[in-house]
Structure 1
Amino acid sequence: MSEVKSIKDQKLLYHLTSVENLDGIFKDGLKPRAGLSGFKDVADAEILKKRQALQLDKYVPFHWFAKNPFDGSVQRNRPEAQFVLISVYRSTARQYGWKIIPRHPLAGDSIQLLDYEQGFEAIEWNVMSSRDYLDPHCKSICMAECLAPGVVKPEAFFKIFTPSEEVDALCVAKLQAADVNVQTSVNQRMFYQ
């Protein structure tokens, strides 16, 4: 049996979105919330207000692993919706100067918006790897974010993970219609069922 890599040593970042948003994403890229209109929002409205006050709506948020507390909350609150995970290489984030918040951005009174290298070292990886969502500190660390300061074009995507063959086929059809070349992969374990 192969040993599972720690979250720190993995290579990807993940952005959860509704299938309903894919046409716009494939056409224009993943945009910061401040630059969006006419899309299916998946996040909590109260949290969005706080993110806007901190100007975090000017970034596209990614998480460090799939099935994090954010993903779970969104999928439980919208059981009828279909979701995909858009992934990018962490090396892309490093190369293009993305920012990092080493814990949930709304945990506590202030946020730490750090440069990639400094932020990466500031994350409590051992705490994150325990994934104990009943522990508030761990849950906050598990929602650390890597933030793209602008549009993330489909050319930067590594792969789109889907929860089923049905969603995968829909995603592939949308990719073809938009003339975008990104791999897809069905992986149910990356989604809450």
Structure 2
Amino acid sequence: MAMGNIKEGKLLYHLTRLSNLDSIIEHGLVSRKLVKDNDVQFFDIADQKIITKRTELGLDEFTPFHFHPYSSFDVAVKSTYADEEFIYICIRRGLAKDNNFKILPRHPLNDEENFQLYDYDEGFEAIDWETMHTLGTEDRYTKNVKMAECLTPLIVPAKLFHCIYVRNEEIRSLVKEKLQSKGITKTPPFVDIGHWL
């Protein structure tokens, strides 16, 4: 996906460890709060300070998606856990719109005073798309815009995933086996190789 096509893109991206996939297939993609409240086995990749702030803002009740797989969060996580295998779970933006997902036009933790969840259409228009497409050096504002989020309190079952992006053919085969073992044999979800992983 070229950076210039982010606004016109059709997908939303959720980064997670491959080791979380079995639980996600079984329970769906759920909020951090639901995971904790139900003692679901799960390895969190977010920084503890960020988790605490998100909980204070009530964002732990939502599952977050990004509009592209190039945010500074994604880069930092993949660098911090360089020995881990990651995947992107993607859903169609149309599914998010039809199910009243919310949007944060900028990363909320650096602008807590102006923190506001928007309905999908209003939030989509509130995103600074010109800044979202900026290449090269990123100041704080640019990083925050590139980490705009689309969020839902709903459980997103695996059968509604549009695709799962993986790093290579070996992981692709493994993910397909995991899906098939749980009776998910139809496409979508597609399992594709994402070269940014």
| TM-fit CA distance, 1:155 | 2.0
Residue 88 of structure 2: aligned partner? 85
3-state SS of paired residue (2:42): coil
Q: Tell me the TM-score normalised to structure 1 length.
A: 0.93
Residue 27 of structure 1: aligned partner? 26
Q: Percent identity of the aligned residues?
A: 38
Q: What letter matches 1:25 in structure 2?
A: I
Q: What's the RMSD between the two structures over aligned residues? A: 1.4
Residue 185 of structure 1: aligned partner? 192
Counterpart of 2:124 (choices 111, 120, 127) is 120
After superposing the two structures, state which structure 1 stretch, 116-125 or 101-110, moved more. 101-110
3-state SS of paired residue (1:9): coil
Q: Tell me the TM-score normalised to structure 2 length.
A: 0.91
Q: What letter matches 1:72 in structure 2?
A: V
* Aligned CA distance change for structure 1 residues 141 and 133 (closer, same or farther; 3 Å): farther
Residue 108 of structure 1: aligned partner? 111
* CA distance in structure 1 between the partners assigned to 2:112 and 2:135 by the alignment: 23
| TM-fit CA distance, 1:109 | 2.6
3-state SS of paired residue (2:20): helix
Residue 169 of structure 1: aligned partner? 173
Residue 153 of structure 1: aligned partner? 157
- The 4+ residue runs of structure 1 with deviation greater than 2 A are 3-6, 131-134
3-state SS of paired residue (1:8): coil
Residue 7 of structure 1: aligned partner? 6
> 2:102 touches 2:152 (CA, 8 Å); kept in 1?
yes
Structure 1: segments with no counterpart, 5+ residues: none
Structure 2: segments with no counterpart, 5+ residues: none
> 2:12 touches 2:92 (CA, 8 Å); kept in 1?
yes
Q: Tell me the number of residue pairs that the alignment of Structure 1 and Structure 2 aligns.
A: 188
Superposed, 1:33-52 pairs within 5 Å as: 33-36=32-35, 37-52=40-55
* CA distance in structure 2 between the partners assigned to 1:134 and 1:125 by the alignment: 14
3-state SS of paired residue (1:24): helix
